Structure 1
Amino acid sequence: MTVRPSARDAGQRKRDALERLRNDEDAWVSTASPEGAPYLMPLSFVWHDDRLVMATRKNNPTARNLAADGACWVALGPTRDVVLIESTAEVLASDALPDDTGAAFVAKLGWDPRGRAAWVFLSFRPRRVLAWREANELPERELMRDGVWRV
């Protein structure tokens, strides 16, 4: 019999989610084309100024889908310690990222796509954040709503 951890309170789940945002390197980004075709892509990220920032080639379906609509979900962590983030994303030219954000991106991820014409940055503004480990945390999984932390 597997022993499941006890439920964390909302404050601890928020601290854990922020820790994952600061320290994880990769996330899954889920978008849809204007025709409604789903697309899922893993991308590396930095959490800076309350935004997720990622880079990808501008002809990537993720970049095209976000340029058309901006709506997406981002998932961090394994299925038994997940953080789901409903976001609105903005697509920025590779030379349009603020210097401090670009420096944070390079410091965390070790590469610099700034100024490369084939690349764009994706800046995600979270609107809703959900986090849970087990079913015992599902009733209070919503940590952010309408861009405001509930905790």
Structure 2
Amino acid sequence: MTKQEPARSREQRKQDVLDRLEKDEDAWVSTASPDGAPTLVPLSFVWDRGTLLMATRRTNPTAVNVTPAGHARIAVGHTRDVVLIEATAEVIEGADLATESGDAFASKLNWDLRGRQAWVYLRFTPTAVKAWREENELAGRELMAEGRWLD
């Protein structure tokens, strides 16, 4: 049995989430096609300007799915220390990506896709964030709602 740590304060959870978004490299991204077929894929990311910046081939279901509705759910971490993010999404062509964003992506992930026509960037802007480790943190798991961090 896992020893349960005391529940973290909202402030500590927010800081832990921001630290995780800065340091982690991979997330699970869930989207749905217009007819409701779910897709769940792992993608690498960089935390850039308060958003998660990722990339995938333009023909992959994740890129195709975010185009009509612009919604996604993203999970960072494992089941005993999860960050769950609801986000709006936009597709960005490599030529349209801000230089600073492209540099941050290439630097963190050692992967520069600018100029590769088969690839697009996906920018996910969080609208809601939840974070918890164990059952004792479920009550205070909501950290962001309607795109604003909660006090």
TM-score by length of 1: 0.98
Residue of structure 2 in register with 1:135 after alignment: 135
Quick one: percent identity of the two aligned structures?
Answer: 58
Distance 1:74 1:3 in 2: 27
Secondary structure, in 3 states, of the residue corresponding to 1:140?
coil
Q: Could you report, residue by residue, the CA deviation over 1:36-93 in whole angstroms, capped at 9, with x for unpaired residues?
A: 0000010000001101000000000000000121111010001000000000000111
TM-score by length of 2: 0.98
- Equivalent AA in structure 1 for residue 45 of structure 2: F
Distance 1:94 1:40 in 2: 23
Aligned: 1:75 with 2:72: no
- Give runs of aligned pairs for residues 1-150 of structure 1, distance below 5 A: 1-150=1-150
Distance 1:26 1:32 in 2: 20
Distance 2:94 2:37 in 1: 26
Secondary structure, in 3 states, of the residue corresponding to 1:122?
strand
Q: Check the 8 A contact 1:95/1:116 in 2, yes or no.
A: no
Distance 1:140 1:4 in 2: 16
Secondary structure, in 3 states, of the residue corresponding to 1:124?
strand
> Which structure 2 segments of 5+ residues have no match?
none
